[in-house]
Amino acid sequence: MIQAILKKIRYWQLIKNSNNTDEKPVKKEKKKLSLSLSTNIKWFKELLGKSDDIKVREFTFGNKRVVNAALIFIDGLVSNEIITESIMKPLLLYDESLQETPTNNAHDLMNQIQRRVLCSGDVTANSYVEDLVTSCLRGDTVLLLDGTCQGLVVSSKGWDKRSVTEPQTESVARGPREGFTENFRTNTSLLRRKIRSPALRMDSFTIGEKTHTMVCVAYLKGVADEKLIEEIKRRLNTLKVDAILESGYIEQYIEDAPFSLFPTIGKSEKPDVIAGKILEGRAAIIVDGTPFVLTAPMLFTESFQTAEDYYSRTLYASAIRLMRFLSFLIAVFAPAFYVAATIFHQEMIPTKLLFTIAAAREGTPFPAVVESLILLLAFEVLREAGLRLPRPVGQAVSIVGALVMGDAAISAGLVGAPVVVTVAISAMAEFVTPENQDSITLLRLIFLLLSAALGGYGIMLGTLGMLIDLASLESFGVPYFAGIAPAHSHDMEDLFVRAPLWSMTERPPEFARKDRTRQKGSKPPFFHHKS
Amino acid sequence: MKRKKYIGVFLAAVLILCSCTGCWGSKELTDMVQVIGTGLDNAENGQTKLTVQAGSASTSKSDNKKKSAESQIILYQKTGNGIFDMVRDITHESNRRLFIGHNQCIVFGKEDAQKGVKNQLDFFLRDSEARMDVNILVSDSTAEEILSTQTEDYDMPAVGIKQLLEMQQANAESVSTDLMDFSLALASETTCPVASMIHLSKSNGKPRFVVSGTAVFKKDKLVGTLDEEKTRGYLWAMNKVKNGVVNIQSHSQPVCLEILGSRAAIKPVLQANHHLTVHFPISVKLGIREIKNQDGISYDELSKQLEQDVSHLIQKKISDCFHETQLYGTDIYGVGKLVEEKYPQDWDNIKDKWDTLYRNSIPEVSVEVKVKDSGEISKTYG
């Protein structure tokens, strides 16, 4: 075990040292297509193997000069309609004599097919076998002609995909209900539909040597800090991994502090949330195959904001925002505070409450800490079980777990009722800020143990440590605790309260460096009446 | 790099050391009983008798499964010299430790208080668990009698006494003193502490606590008591009357007025010949609450008459009380402190003869009464 840890440490040191010497990848010579169609097809088959979903459709066309051709595509990834209507039909009906400029060789013919024949919006020519194979694997169709050393890539993606539905993790009472899907293009289009500005840029990458996953960085040019975009791109470019299956992979590879309890990269399933973040000057990272879009940089205070804050009216939104901060504190500190108060600081508890707690604790066999730990564990088990089980069963499990077990534990005298209440309120409060869920779970445990060992002093030490961690974290060059420390007067508009929309005239100073103005003097009616 | 490593190792060491202490000083609720009242009485040979009323949560499994929490009152008694010693002695007969952080009141027996309470309070001032907001009371008889009585209206008698004292604001006829006030007065050279008096009354054969009157201490010894009327006079002067009732005979019929607010001050004036006059300016706002027969009297007339009558009454109460304290020679108002603040140069000269100076001082009460609220909705018929 220790040896394994030492090995890991050595590996980190290796990474640290190799960071500076950014070696350039050796470019492998790419294979070019040959002039012979049969050779080309052979090469394709060599590369793609004998999988039965790979279709090679050989055919001939032309009336004056008969040309051998082949379509290579992967069944299931392509839309058969596109292949028939936009590729096969025009080609088979192709009549060279109708064309104004006669073609002399196969190369000209290919040009003509690309320009005048194929009824597809996206046709590109390429002469490298590997590239063509990659296009095939993406769902495009490759058209090869005999006598040319070029192939045409015709966009023909058409696979089964989930439709745009309401995301389950971020449901709202008010606001758009659409959510991102697993389909990359759908996601980018959802974003484009929110921000119809030419300044919205989406720079794409392909990451993953085996998965060739599309990853794109979306940002608002002129608003987002260019250094930030460069930094994100730099980090993405350093990735040399074989697979990216979810945006979580990207998150873990490019985040600033992998061992902090707090996430330094945000995520959301909702286009309106991501659009809002982009408009504030952040960058979004969309990854193919997952509805979770990342945003960077992320601030600590961001996890207390929701889309609804901006859709509902100021006063209510502000009150709810404050309540969220409060529930974060409850979620983290409630069990720790309970334990510290009951085993160290009995004088802190009001006399009557003390007697109530003492009466409930009477006859329970475990110390207060153990009680809390048992219940916390039980809660985590229930939550995990509820998450994994099929939905109808999940509900049953939560009811049995929460109601029956909780009540039974109390009446059997295993645990006291106050500790159940404390753990329950803490657990409920955790869900108010879902983005902090991971960190809260761990923090709560740490604080509980600290308070069990050192009481209020322990809680204070832990808080100090947490604040130090928060204040020292950075997310892509932006202080993680920004808004609280360092504070900027404009942060206060959107921190503990949400100022009226018309009064938030500037973008947050942390991200938007250049174009800071969000709006110019769109004042509410009551201002007009006065003047 | 190396330095960073050392800092890391150091921090880790501190963290591990911290957690190695285990639950240092932790005490489970189930291992302690909560002291809610302590009583101190005289015993033979100059010893002290300590009565401790403690509440312990007990669970009675009355209806099979549901546990109903009931608090159980436990009484411990010890006789000895030091209170701390006696408290620890109780562990011989109790399986749980006494925790005095929730002590509600300290009751002194009358005889004990007359002998002096300083040495007994010392423990409560020094102990880390004891709090300064614990109420000080003097029993008419013994402290034991008060603390060993279970009344029907409170399941925890000492907590009931504390609540009773808090309610006294509504009638403004008895004082409520906590350890903080008491010890501050003890520490002062001139000011004398007061405490509320408590006794038991029987109603329908069942005992009940009654808080009324004021115990007046000189230094730490009980020298006398003020009755309810005089206590009101004391409270008027101390600007502590915020609520309460004033009963008065006006137009040869009883009128009941509610105190809506009062503002009072104490202003000592030292004459050149070292004669002390104590001014008690006070303004009071009243509202009429009960009047038997208002026929034929206009509101203006009535209120004018009432204002006059009440101001006489207040004047009398304040000066009566002052005279009584002069008899005991106890400056419970803290006049001496005010004089010291106002005449720092003269203070050194008069400090030694403060007692006689106070006994011979003249109170001057100026009362301003306003009847603000007639309480009248409409003319009553019938």
Residue A513 lies in a domain: no
Mutate to test the interface with A, among B1, B29, B59, B98 (most CBs of A within 10 A): B29
Show which of A264, A298, A332 is a domain's final residue: A298
Q: Do A259 and A360 share a structural domain?
A: no
In this structure, are residues B303 and B219 in contact, taking their beta carbons and an 8 Å threshold?
A: no
On whether residue B202 sits in a domain, the answer given is yes
Tokens of A368: 């207060």
Q: Are residues B218 and B233 in the same domain?
A: no
CA atoms within 13 A on the CB side of B97: 11
End-to-end Cα spacing for chain B: 98
Give B-chain residues touching A336 at CB under 8 angstroms.
Answer: none
Q: What is the pLDDT of residue B79?
A: 92
A452–B24 CB contact, under 8 Å:
no
Q: Do the chains contact at B159 and A352, CB–CB below 8 Å?
A: yes
A452 interaction partners in chain B (CB closer than 8 Å): 23, 26
Flag if A369 and B23 touch (Cβ within 8 Å): yes
DSSP A77-89: TB-HHHIIIIIIH
Of A354, A363, A453, the CB nearest to B59: A363
Please report residues of A whose CB lies closer than 8 A to that of B129.
347
Which of these, A249, A240, A223, A232, lies nearest to A284 by C-alpha position? Answer: A232
- Considering the domain architecture, whether residues A191 and A143 belong to the same structural domain is answered as no
pLDDT tens digits for range A137-182: 888 999 998 888 888 999 888 888 889 999 988 888 889 999 999 9
Distance (Å) from the alpha carbon of A445 to chain B's nearest alpha carbon? 14
Length of chain B measured in residues: 382
Range A232-235 contact pairs with CB under 8 angstroms and sequence separation of 24 or more: A232/A283, A232/A285, A232/A296, A232/A476, A233/A203, A233/A205
- Give the CA distances from residue A394 to residues A198, A374, A375, A391, B380, in Å, rounded to whole numbers and listed in that order: 46, 21, 19, 5, 70
Residues of B in contact with A368 (CB under 8 A): 28-29
CA atoms within 13 A on the CB side of B315: 12
For residues A367-375, give the mean pLDDT: 90
| pLDDT value for B62 | 44
Of A362, A455, A461, the CB nearest to B58: A362
Q: What is the pLDDT of residues A276-309, one digit of tens each?
A: 999 999 999 999 999 999 998 999 999 999 989 9
Report if residue A165 sits inside a domain: no
Region of poorest pLDDT, from A15-19, A184-188, B286-290: A15-19
Q: Same structural domain for residues B199 and B274?
A: no
Inspect the interface and report whether the beta carbons of B58 and A359 lie closer than 8 Å.
yes
Between A10 and A82, residue with greater pLDDT: A82
Q: How far apart are CA A70 and CA A41, in angstroms?
A: 8
Same domain, B168 and B153: yes
Alpha helices in A51-182 (DSSP H): 80-82, 89-92, 106-112, 129-138
Q: Of A437, A459, A479, which marks where a domain is finished?
A: A479
Contact at CB, B18 and A461, closer than 8 angstroms: yes
3-state SS, one letter per residue, for A396-456: HHHHHHHHHHHHHHHHCCCCCHHHHHHHHHHHHHHCCCHHHHHHHHHHHHHHHHHHHHHCH
Domain count along chain B? 2
How many CB atoms sit inside 10 A of residue B83's CB?
22
Residue where a domain terminates, one of B226, B246, B279: B226
Half-sphere exposure of residue B7, counting CA atoms within 13 Å on the CB side?
Answer: 4
- The percentage of residues in chain A with a pLDDT greater than 70, rounded to a whole number, is 94
Bigger pLDDT: A527 or B33?
B33
Which domain, by its residues, includes B54? 30-59+69-226
The SS3 call for residue A26 is coil
Which whole-number Å values give the CA distances from B24 to A111, A239, A372, in the listed order? 85, 49, 19
User: If you measure CA to CA, which chain A residue comes closest to B129?
Assistant: A347
Q: Is some CB atom of chain B closer than 8 A to the CB atom of A265?
A: no
Q: Among all chains, which residue has been given the structure tokens 């279709």?
A: A55
Nearest CB neighbour to B22, from listed A352, A368, A453: A453
Q: Nearest chain A Cα to B17, which residue?
A: A453
DSSP state of A64: S
User: Structural domain of residue A268, as residue ranges?
Assistant: 184-298
> B343, exposed or middle or buried, with CB in 10 Å at 0-12, 13-18, 19+?
middle
Residue A164 confidence (pLDDT): 92
Same domain, A344 and A293: no
- Same domain, yes or no: B146 and B134: yes
Q: Are residues B129 and B243 in the same domain?
A: no
Collapsed DSSP state (helix, strand, coil) of residue A49: coil
Q: Are residues B37 and B154 in the same domain?
A: yes
Q: Are β-strands B105-108 and B32-42 bridged in parallel, bridged antiparallel, or unpaired?
A: parallel
Residues of chain B contacting A360 with CB distance shorter than 8 Å:
57, 69
Quick one: A434 and A340 in the same domain?
Answer: yes
Residue B165, in any domain of the structure? yes
Let me know if residue A427 belongs to a domain.
Answer: yes
* A357 in a structural domain: yes
Residue A455 lies in a domain: yes
Nearest chain B residue to A344 by CA: give it: B26
Do both A150 and A198 map to the same domain?
no
Looking at the structure, tell me whether residues B254 and B126 fall in a common domain: no
Tell me the two tokens of residue B87: 């408290």
Distance CA A419, CA A427 (A): 12
Identify whether residues A116 and A74 lie together within a single domain: yes
**Tokens 């309120």 belong to residue:** A425
Closest listed residue to residue B354, CA positions, set B270, B280, B295: B270
Q: What is the mean pLDDT of residues A462-471?
A: 93
Asked if B250 and B305 touch (Cβ cutoff 8 Å), the reply is yes
Instruction: Sort out which chain A residues have CB atoms less than 8 A from B55's CB and list them.
Output: 355
Is there a single domain that holds both residue B198 and residue B87? yes
pLDDT-based confidence at A440, cuts 50/70/90? very high
Number of domains in chain A: 3
- In this structure, the answer to whether residues B217 and B75 fall within a common structural domain is yes
Residue A213 one-letter amino acid? T
B228 to chain A, closest Cα gap in Å? 30
State the pLDDT at residue A25. Answer: 54
Domain boundary residue, one of B226, B252, B269: B226
Instruction: Of B104, B117, B88, B89, give the one whose Cα is nearest residue B54.
Output: B104
Q: Give the contacts of A441 (CB within 8 A, at least 6 positions apart).
A: A380, A430
Summarize pLDDT for A333-347 with one digit per residue, the tens. Answer: 999 999 999 999 988
* A and B: number of Cβ contacts within 8 A: 87
Q: How far is A348 from chain B (nearest CA, A)?
A: 9
Residues in A touching B19 (Cβ below 8 Å)? 449, 453
Which residues of B make CB contacts under 8 Å with A?
18-19, 21-30, 32, 34, 36, 55-59, 65-67, 69-71, 99, 101-102, 104, 129, 131, 156, 159
Chain B residue nearest residue A362, CA to CA: B30
Omega before A367 cis (within 30°)? no
Report ipTM (2 d.p.).
Answer: 0.81
pLDDT in 10s for each residue of chain B, 382 residues: 677 888 888 888 877 776 666 666 788 888 888 899 999 999 888 899 999 999 877 654 444 444 445 567 889 999 998 888 898 888 888 888 888 889 999 999 999 999 999 888 999 999 888 889 999 999 998 999 999 888 877 878 888 899 899 888 888 888 889 999 999 999 998 899 999 999 998 888 888 899 988 999 998 999 999 998 899 999 999 999 888 898 888 777 888 899 999 999 999 998 888 889 999 999 999 988 888 776 777 778 888 888 999 999 999 999 999 999 999 999 999 999 999 999 998 888 888 889 899 999 999 999 999 988 777 666 655 5
Query: In this structure, what CATH number is given to the domain that contains residue B300?
Result: 3.30.300.210
Q: What is the pLDDT of residue B61?
A: 46
Phi-psi region of B367 (alpha: psi -120 to 50; beta: other; left: phi over 0): beta
Last residue of a domain, one of B226, B247, B274: B226
Can you tell me the distance from the alpha carbon of A61 to that of A68, in angstroms, rounded to the nearest whole number? 7
- Within 10 angstroms of residue A81's Cβ, the number of other Cβ atoms is 10
Q: How far apart are CA B331 and CA B217, in angstroms?
A: 9
Pairing of strands B253-264, B245-250: antiparallel
Indicate whether B353 belongs to any domain: yes
Shortest alpha-carbon distance between residue B86 and chain A (Å): 21
Note whether residue A277 is domain-resident.
Answer: yes
Shared-domain flag, residues A198 and A144: no
Are A367 and B28 in contact (CB < 8 Å)? Answer: yes
SS3 B197: strand
Over residues A181-198, the mean pLDDT reads 94
Confirm whether A366 is domain-assigned: yes
Q: Helix A314-343 to helix A368-388 angle, to the nearest 10 degrees?
A: 140
Confidence at residue A48, expressed as pLDDT on a 0 to 100 scale: 86
The answer to the question of residue B13 being in a domain is no
Do A427 and A284 sit in the same domain of this protein? Answer: no
Chain B positions touching A369 (Cβ under 8 A) are: 23
What is the C-alpha separation between A226 and B375, in angstroms, rounded?
74
On the CB side of B49, CA atoms within 13 Å amount to 16
In a domain, B200, yes or no: yes
pLDDT, chain A, mean: 87
pLDDT of residue B152: 79
Q: Do A65 and A197 lie in a common domain?
A: no
- Are B34 and A355 inside 8 Å of each other by CB? yes
Please report residues of B whose CB lies closer than 8 A to that of A351: 34, 36, 102, 104, 159
pLDDT at A333: 96
Q: Residue range A438-466: average pLDDT?
A: 92
Is B91 part of any domain?
yes
Residue B20 lies in a domain: no
**Cross-chain Cβ contact A346/B102 below 8 Å:** yes
pLDDT in tens, A69-114: 899 999 988 988 888 888 888 888 877 666 666 677 778 888 888 8
Residue A456 lies inside a defined structural domain of this protein = yes
Domain membership of residue B276 (yes or no) is yes
